[in-house]
Amino acid sequence: MSYDPDNIFARILRDEISSDRVYEDDEFIAFRDIAPQAPVHIVLIPRGEPPVSPTGLTDGDAGWAGRMLVVASRIAASEGLTAGGYRLVMNSGANAGQAVEHLHMHLLGGGLLGPVA
């Protein structure tokens, strides 16, 4: 599957669509989800044209993908989620509920979350 440069996250990265950003650096941005599934629901996306889903990750992506996990944990701490706990989710494909074909991670917390499986 090829990357669509007009997907909603690409448009957010280009500031064509506004977002409530909570974090930004040279590699990633994070913003509050417009349809939150938890009291705190933040979406973390890499800049540029990443794989469309985790399925497209390769060994060469290990560096930035690992940094993405570190950034997510820092954001969780800054949101006060460390003591109570939080969930990190990456969906891969339509059957998993992936709605935007731009690799991204959901950070969910701020209350009791239901079971995953």
* Residues designated catalytic: 104
Task: State the DSSP string of 93-115.
Answer: SGGGT--SSS--EEEEESSPPPP
User: What CA–CA distance (Å, rounded) separates 50 from 101?
Assistant: 10
User: What CA–CA distance (Å, rounded) separates 18 from 84?
Assistant: 30
What is the residue whose two structure tokens read 């690799």? 103
